[in-house]
Amino acid sequence: MKVGVVFGVSELANPKDFEKKTSKFLTELANEFDVEGGIFVSIKKDVKDAREEGIDFNKVDVLLLYPLTGGTENALKEFSIYRKPIVLFGDAFNNSIAAAVELREYFREHLIPTTMVKSFDELKAALLGYEDMKELLGKFLKMRLGLIGRASPWLINESFNPPYVHISLKKFYEYYDRVTDAEGWKVVEEIVARARNIKEPSREDLIKAGRIYVALKNIIDDYKLDGFAIGCFDLIGKIKGTPCLALAMFNAQGIPAACEGELNSLLGMVIARRFFNKPAFMGNIADYGEDYIILAHCTAPLISSYVLRSHFESGIGVGVEVELPRGRASILKINGRKAVVAGVEVVDRERSNYRCRTQMKLRIEDAREFIDGTLGNHHLLIYVDSEELADLLSELGFEVMLY
Q: pLDDT tens across 148-172, in order? A: 999 999 999 998 999 999 999 999 9
Q: Determine the Cα–Cα distance for residues 232 and 261; give it in Å rounded to an integer.
A: 7
Q: pLDDT tens across 271-285, in order? A: 999 999 999 999 999
Q: Where in the chain is the domain with CATH 3.40.50.10940?
A: 2-140
Q: Return the CATH number of the domain spanning residue range 143-402.
A: 3.20.14
Q: Determine the Cα–Cα distance for residues 238 and 235; give it in Å rounded to an integer.
A: 5
Q: Determine the Cα–Cα distance for residues 383 and 391; give it in Å rounded to an integer.
A: 15
Report whether 367 contacts 293 (CB < 8 A): yes
Q: Determine the Cα–Cα distance for residues 151 and 156; give it in Å rounded to an integer.
A: 9
Of the CA atoms within 13 Å of residue 393, those in its CB half-sphere come to 29
Q: Determine the Cα–Cα distance for residues 28 and 19; give it in Å rounded to an integer.
A: 14
Q: How confident is the model at residue 52 (pLDDT cuts 50, 70, 90)?
A: confident
- Determine which helix (DSSP H) or strand (DSSP E) holds 96, and give its type and residue range: helix 96-109
Q: Which residues, listed in sequence order, are joined to residue 165 by a DSSP beta bridge?
A: 146
Q: Determine the Cα–Cα distance for residues 244 and 240; give it in Å rounded to an integer.
A: 13
**Is the sign of the CA dihedral 322, 382, 267, 225 positive or negative?**
negative
Lateral strand order in the sheet of 319-322: 197-198, 306-309, 319-322
Burial 50-63 (b: 16+ CB within 10 A, else e): beeeeeebeebbbb
pTM (two decimals): 0.94
Q: Where in the chain is the domain with CATH 3.20.14?
A: 143-402
Q: pLDDT tens across 97-141, in order? A: 999 999 999 999 999 999 999 999 999 999 999 999 999 999 999
Q: pLDDT tens across 197-248, in order? A: 999 999 999 999 999 999 999 999 999 999 999 999 999 989 999 999 999 9
| Domain 2-140 belongs in CATH node 3.40.50.10940 | yes
Q: Determine the Cα–Cα distance for residues 38 and 45; give it in Å rounded to an integer.
A: 17
* Residues written for the chain: 403
